[in-house]
Every structure is written in structure tokens, then in C-alpha cells.
Structure 1
């Protein structure tokens, strides 16, 4: 028989499969697969759809497909259920996954296998419900033997829960559960093979809880134990992250150095960019800690009047210097790695905490040369770095640059910029930024208002500080209504103080200049100087960032969600009042805070008592000192000495024996000779 091919008019003979005489003349199955009957074909299509949906997050469609398969009279298999469970695991639907497991046993009469349990446990891990993952693991132990993949999924669930925001609510039990599971794998009979993913998941659980000690021990076990897998770059990075989160960045950097050393287990040429990024993150934390200890941060005015980043060289410290060296090592090392945006952001954070704006500008120039652009998170780090370096003008300019490039600023960006203004005592730009974020629809939080109130306190604007505190609770913007007049006055003052030449261009960094080239003219984009030396330019940058013609006036009444002031806000307002000797408002505000349920801290009370000593408010200082035990606070030696100075300045008598007895009763170490001499000097 001659068979013509479809679409061909010639008589070319088509291929006909050979017949197998041993099977009754039927075509050979190996040569041409038989087409399944229609019912089998429907079963095949349903299974294929389930396999396809298991790779997505469309768990509802997968469940509907499973129900359709059952309604058409097909008996479901374990693989069908595992596909649905896998789709649920992809989006963390752990409650539905557990319900489906129960349905398998009670309704469909199918016992879930290890793979089904693994996907259900993975769903719990994706949702951060590590406790339910452990429940499922225990249920599997009663019906069968969990394998390596199930244990890995359970450990990963503990690791993910350990990194959640609410991990502290469970008192850090996640990493302990993960460690117990890892030890259980080693003690199993026969012992389960320990793979690197299980160890890395365990390290991740320890890192989420900041448990740097067990993390280092586990990394050491991977290096020395023959039964444990060898660590890799990811293992080192997670262990370093555990040290950094646990506030031991020095140990993180030591791990990094030891692993790459002459006797280290990781060749220098195999270190990847992830490890370098984690090391730079440790440098940022180390630099911040060094700055907090040494009190390196100062206002720009205390640097001889020069603006930050303009030829002002500061000591970088270990954290800042290591960040600078690591960037150089990445680009000039054996692998010549190109730092990414995350690595550059961490380096900028470290240099900002070190107080060096000039080094930040050098890093930004390197980024411009390498063609690396900052992400929104990178700009957040940049603004915070300028704030830590007390460079308020550069911080505001970075915020303007971010928005000119079309990146959306969030509340953290604005809060960091306002904090930079507060550090420099620039309350007018701080209020302008607060107004701008409200009009852009970005809701301020307690930290935002706390920074704005602190800016007013630094500028001795106690009335504005109290008004901001009141506006927080009402959602009004009364304190911001006079901003246009304040900007005009500041601009006039700056214009009279500085008259630059008509041809003098603003000083702009190369990175900001590149950003300006990308911004189109006529779209309301502002000039973006990031290293200006004139106060006039700084005030110009700090003006509200939206063009005046596009701005709507601040509507009366509530324009944002009312916020309850916290300790930070009250302490800043108390500081604003006590700085200008407004003791009536200070004491009234203190009573308001107590009535609102805000517990004062020893530091806040100590600052107020120190202000009493400065102004000679002896009675007030002694009253505050006596009120501290009622607030649940124990006065320190510093509080007592300042109260004594205040009484001496006001001419009040204070018996030395009574004072010493009161301090000893509260468990305060007393230098009796020194204190007696100080009391004797008082009138």
C-alpha cells in the first residue's frame, strides 16, 4: 500500500513501523509508542497539569485540578498530592498543606509519603511557622522514617523563622530546635548522610538569632570533622553574618582573615563577592560601634566651619579603614572582582559611621567609573551615612538626587535626612523635609518626629518642639505652617552673609554630576550639589523638594495618622525646654509623659538634672532625684553629683550623711571622702 505524506501530491512512500511477529503483528512499541486510549489520555493530561502547576504558586488551580481528577473517576496517587503540596509550599500555605495531608488519610485513604511531608514542612518554613514544621516531623516519625530531605526542610524552616521579626517572641527557640535536629541526624541508625545544605541551613538559623558562638563552633566542625561536609563560601558568609548580627563584627572579620590566610581552608582566589559583601557589612557595624564608643561624630561647625567632605580628613578607625582596604582588595586582588551595589552600600555605611565624607565621595566616584548605580536601598544607606558623618547638606542633596532619578524615597530616607539636620542643629531644613514627606503621602513615624524635635532642641526652638509633639497626637501640621517664611528669612540671611561670584558654579561631586546629566530639564528637578561649601547652597538644597507650582498648601486639621509620642520624642522635647531654662514647661511635660504611660529612662532624668545644675535649680533637681524611685529608676552617682551642684548653686543645704545614706541604700558605690568634700563646699 502506498501512503502519501500529508500535503504532498507525490507518491513517496511514508515510513511504516515494522511489525513484531512475536506480538501478533502489532507495531513495535520501541519503534513507535502506542497512543493511549482516551481515558488514559485524560489521566495523563491531569497529571501533567499538576506537575506544571507544582512549579508555580497557583496552589488553588492545582487543588481544583486534583478535585477534577477525582470527580472524573480517577484514583489519585501520592504524586498527585505531592504536586499540590509543592505548589502550596512555594507560597507558604502551610495551613492548607496540613489540611490536605489530613484529607489524604481520612477522605482519600492514601497514606502521605516522605515527599508529601517534605513539601508540607517546606510550606511551614516558607511561612515562618517552624513549630508546625516540627509537629509534622514528629507525625512522620510515628508513621515512617524521615529522610535527609525532610530533615533539611525542617532545619530550613527553623532558620527562616529565626530570621523573622517576631523571632524574639519565641525566645530564640528556633536555632535550638534546628541544632537538635542536626544532632538527631548524626545519631540516627543508620546515620543519615550530612550534606552541606543542612549545615548551611543550621548556620542560617544561628545567624538569624545572632548566636555567633555556636555558629563559629559549627563552622569549625565542618572544617575539622571528617564526617561533616566541607564548608564553602556560603558557609563562611553565614557564619560571619551571625557574628555581625550578634554585635561581634571583629570576630566576623577575623573569620574572614583566618579562612583566607596561609593556613586557611578557603583559597584567596576562590573568595566570592558574597563573602566580601558580608565582610563590608561587618566593617559598617564595627565602624558604628567605634563611633559610639569614641563619640567621634561632631557638628560641622566644630570642624572649623568647613563643610563635611571638603578636605576634612578624619581618622577612619578600624572599621572604616578595613572597608576601604577591602574595596581595593576586591578590584586589585587575584580574581579582580567588581563590587556590586550592595558591597558599595556597605562600604559607604562604614565610611559614614567613620565620619569621612571625603571617602564617601571617592567611593561614589568609583561607582560612577564602574557604571554601578545605587538602588533605593543603597540611597537609604547613603543618606544614613551622610547623617552619621554630620553632613546634613549632603544628606539632603542625596535625597533630592534619589527623587530626581525617579526612585521613590521611603520614611527611612526622610528620617535619616532629618536626623542629619538635627545633628547639625538645622531645624528649618528638618521641618521642610517633614512637610515634604507628608505632602508626598509618606507617613512619618515616631523616629521621624523624634529627629525633627531634636533638631528644634539643638536650635533652641522649644516652642516649635512642643508644637511638633502636640501635632503628633492630633495629626495636624500646625508647626509647619510657617515654613515658607522661615525659608525666605534663611535665604535672605545666607544671601547677605555669602555673595558668590556670578560665574561661580556650585561645587558638585562627579557622581552627582552624572546624575544631573540624566535628569531632564523642565521637569521640576532641582540642582543636586552634594559637596557644597556655602550655607546658601545648603539652604537651597534643603527647601521643599517638590516645585512650588505643584505643591498644595497644607490642609488644616489631620493630614496624617496621629502618632503616640514615645520616649525618644518626649526626651527630645524635654531637652529642648531644659536647654533654654523653661523649667515650668519641662516639669509639666514630664508629668504629661508619666500620665501617658511613657516610662522615663535614667539617661533622660540625668540630662534634666544636669541642666538643673547648670541653671542652679537646686530644689527642682532634688525633687527630680527623689521622684526617680517612684518611676522605677535608680539614680546614678552622676545624678546625685549634679543634684548636689544644683543645690550648691542655689544655696541650699544638703546634709552629707543623709546624702551618703540615701545613695548606699540604693546600692550606689560612694566615694565618701570626695562626696563629703563636695558637700562641705556647698553653702
Structure 2
């Protein structure tokens, strides 16, 4: 019997039910549960759409942060986490969570983000303790940001929390990496005032600072303080103390350090032995240097080099030659002995020796060590060949190229990019050979590195300067430097500021070159294009970049461009502690150099009105450097020469 049709109302309110159950006559929908209230929204009847969900991520907590940090994160990913924290006011991290994130940032070199979390924690009313500050200072230490580390310590001393000895050690370590030795000694003097006791690490770092500053008396007092406090005098401390004696010429005290180490039944390490030999060599005590070599249990290649140099300084060339011969025989014997146990062990022996020769510049010994490996039918490996090529340096660049060719012939393979980079670095004074190497490396189909391009650009820039200094008219080397910069950008590489500055400096015409003005006319526009590329794509130009551009335009008598560059505020307001700043010259030095270059060009051209205009701008602009002696002399000279009394 067919069923009667459903009513319209029942047709939309009933669902399929198991057979045997009576249909419900109550058409009232059941009440929503709490879960359904928050997870469903009103939808048109009959539409089969999924319930809408809230896509807003939950606020970051310590648990979520631990999940993020448990995996391997890149610096950019960690920086994004910091940005999310700053932009989300719902973030709920404890002091421990902030500290863990700051530690990860410091290990990745993101010191700025680590410091910013201190301020965020304070705004979030999280108690900022000394541990968080220590992590931030350590992040600055790892990134060689001594100025920021000092700022954090100063803030702690003024506003709290009170720094502990770990804080001072981290700041002193940052000053050490930044070669701020005098400041390290000043901070060490603050430790007793803070009621703290220096640790062995503190003494070790500060004694190293004394050896760099020439504060020998203070270094000796610090060693005595360590002995009074029953701290162990490590061989590293003794090595730093010997370096102090080197500058004072106290070779006897240097030898006493060896005696004290042996009195404790210890063998002096290679660093202490080498430092003592250098002290004897500076005092022309070659007999004592030879005696140290004879008493050494396991002399390394660096010690042989130091003893040979000590003999040469004392004009004992026969003894120096004998020491070198002993070193070569020892290396060959070591290679033969290690070769019996496997190729890897032999490579390790030669690599250690060649790297020591690389540091000392002993190219002959380095090449001999590689030759010994080849004579025994062993492949030295790219690491050994790279170190030997680097030991050749710019003075023996032809030998570095010959080493590369010999490596190809003997191993029947192409050396790695690192070997090419070392040879290119040696070809700084041979730009054509550097370009040939670059072409050969590109023909192998391998990707070129930033270092490869940088070495080639530096070689072209140096080659152009040398050619023009000898009176050449146009070597086209400067043009190749600029074109290499463009090729690197096309390969997706960003060359560092130093290489970009080398390309910019190549656009500066040497004054002694014949027809220098005519040659400079074709250089200023590429220089400005390089500068514009740095502004748009990076790396960010620094004072050196703008100074080179000013000089390139000045040599081409493009006075309007010179005035525009000097008036630019984009470079005069650069912070001194930015990533590209030079450790040896301050911001004022570079900005003054730019003004000096422009003013001297105005003087040569007799443009007294431009000279006075720029000088007036320097005096009225608070961001500009104060006029230097060169600038003032140029202004006075051009006015006097042009009768503008």
C-alpha cells in the first residue's frame, strides 16, 4: 500500500530513522549545546555548507613556543616569531619563555630581535631578571656588537637588575671580539665596585686585553691576583703573558713560563712554545729558540717556522735552512707513517701542517707538503690544496695557479670551488688571470659563490688602479669589475658591501693617469648606477660607497652630481654601529673623507663658489661633519687662487 505524501512542513523537518521507530511529532529543533553555540552559524535552510570555523590563531604561550623551538628554525623564521609577538597583544609568555626565545635568537645572530624582547616583556608586565639581560648581552657578544652590550650593562647598573659576574664576562667577551681592549680593562675595574669577584674566565680575557694594549705591569698583577685567589693559571693565560713580555723584550721571563709549566709535569702546548720562540727571536736570542725546539716533545710545523724566522732575524741563515730541512723531513716521515694507516689520516697530518704554513705565509713549505702527498700516490684533497694556494698569497700568485693546474693533472678531476676561491684571492694583482680562472670555473657548469665574484671584482678593481697609476689610459679592468657585479645579480647572488665598494673605487680615475679627465668622463655614470643598485637591491651603501661615488663624479668634473651627493641625507645619518661599519674608522672619518674629496676637486677646478656653498652647508647642517683641515685648506686655497679675497 503506497504511503501518503508528506506535508510540506514535515518534509523539511524529518530525517531518515531506523525502521521500527515512530516519527517524532515534535518539530521543535533541539537546543544547541555549548560547543555548537560557538562552532556553528546561521545558514540558509537546505544548503549543504560546512560550519564556519574561526581561523584566528591562538595566542602564543610557553607551550606553543617550545613546539616552535623544538625544530630547526632559520633566523628569518625566528624573526617572524618575534614580529608575531610584537603584533599580537594576546601573547602570554613567562620570563622563562622569553629567555628561551632570546637564546635561540642569539645563537642565530639575531641580536636586535633578542634585545627587543626585553622591552616587550616589560610592557607585558613580565619581571625582567638578570638572566634575560645576560642572554641579551651574550647575543651581542656572539654577533660582535660590543657597543650594544655596553649599553645593556650600563642600563643594568643604572636601573637594575644588578648585573652579576656573568654579565661582566659577556660584556668583556664582546669587547674582546670587537678589539676594544682599553674598554675591556675599564669594565674590569668596575667589577670590584659592583661587589663581585672575577672568575678565571674574566682574568683570562682581561690578561689577553693587557697583552694587546701593552699594559704589561697590569697583566703581571692580574696573574698574581689569580694565584692569590687559588685560580689555576692555564697555558692560555701564560701564552698571553708571554705576548706581553714580547713587547717588553723580556725573553727571560718568557722562558720562565716554560719552566713553570714543566715543573707541574705538563707539556707546553704549541701556542705557548711558539710565543716563547717569537720572544726569543725578537730579542735575537736564536740559541734559546733552537733549545726550545730541541726540548719540545711534539713540535708542530708552526714551531719550526717560528724557529727558522728567529734564526733569520739573527742573520743565522744556515741554521734557518737546517731547521726548514728538518721540518720538511719530519713532514715527509709523518706522511709516510700515516699513509700506512689510511688516506684520511695522511690527509689530516698534511692539512694541519699546510694550514700552519698558510697562517705564517710559508708558501714553500706548504707546496712541499702537497708534493709529498702526490709522490706517495695520495690525493691531498681540496682542503689541503686550498690552504697551500692561500699560503702563496699575492706575491706568489703564479705558483698558486700552477698548483691548481697540477691538481687537475694528477687527480683527473676539477677541484672544488673553495680551491678556485683561494687561487682567485692570490690573483689580486693579476686581474686577467683572475678572469681566466673565473671563465674556466663557469665552463665546468658549477655555480659561482659570492666569494668567487668578490675576489674577481677586487682583482679587476686593483688591476685598473695599478694600470692607470703607471700611466695607462684604459685597461677596461674597471668596466669588468662593474660587469661582474651585474653578472652576480643575474645569478641571484648579493655581493657584500666590500666588493661593491671595490667596484665603485674602480670607477675612480687615478690622477697620474694620462688623459685622466677624459677617462673619468666614462666612469662616473657606471659608478652612480652601482650606487643606485645598492640602494634599491642591497647591500645598503655605506660611507665608503658614497665617498667613492663623490670622487668618481669629481674626477669627471660633474659638479652638480658632487653637490647632490654631498647634500644627500641618506648617508650622513647612518648609525655608526650598523652592520657595514668599519672597525678601524669611525663614521666621522668616512664622511669627512667624502667632503674632503669633493672640496679638493673643487679646488683643482677653481670652483670657489661651490666650495663656499658646501662649506656653508657643513656649518649649518647639524648632521654634517665638522669641516676638517683639508676642507678648510681647500676653501682658502681656491678663494686665494681665484682672487676671491
TM-score with structure 2 length normalisation? 0.47
TM-score with structure 1 length normalisation? 0.44
Higher relative contact order (CA 8 A, sep 6+): 1
